[in-house]
Amino acid sequence: MAIGEIIMFGDNVGVIFDGEAPELAVTIVSNIEAGTTPVSALPAPVDSYAPSVSPPQPEMTQVPPQTQGEAEPGLEEAPAKKPVNTWLLAGCGCLVVILLLLIALFIFIDQPWNPGGGLYCKTPFDILFRALGYCP
């Protein structure tokens, strides 16, 4: 690739190669004798890691296990609790939500703040309350 060469990627996109001309003297091999070339000395081997000695630990004495009769009378094991069934809790929560919605519906239909009465005999609630005998 020559300096200043244009590379086209399609009709509208192009790249121009730009650079510096290489120096020819840098790439020529010279005659150097092996004896005059500086050679670095091999590095001295590094000492391997020696772990430090820790102070001795005090000896542990083993206590014989206690039997049922030797246990302290104040300490009793509590029975393991049974986990609460999450489906039971979810079902109870759904029943509470349905109950709250029914109470809100009753208050909306009854409308105690309305002096003319509730919505018992007005559409669409009249269908249900006529069947129950509340509407004339």
Which tops the pLDDT comparison, 61 or 102? 102
Can you tell me the mean pLDDT for 11-31? Answer: 77
Contacts of 133 (CB under 8 A, 6+ apart): none
Mean pLDDT of the chain: 77
In the predicted structure, residue 97 carries a pLDDT above the cut 90: yes
Distance CA 110, CA 122 (A): 11
What is the arithmetic mean of pLDDT over 76-92? 86
Task: Give the residue ranges of DSSP H helices in the chain.
Answer: 86-110, 126-132
Q: Strands, DSSP E only, in the chain?
A: 6-9, 13-16
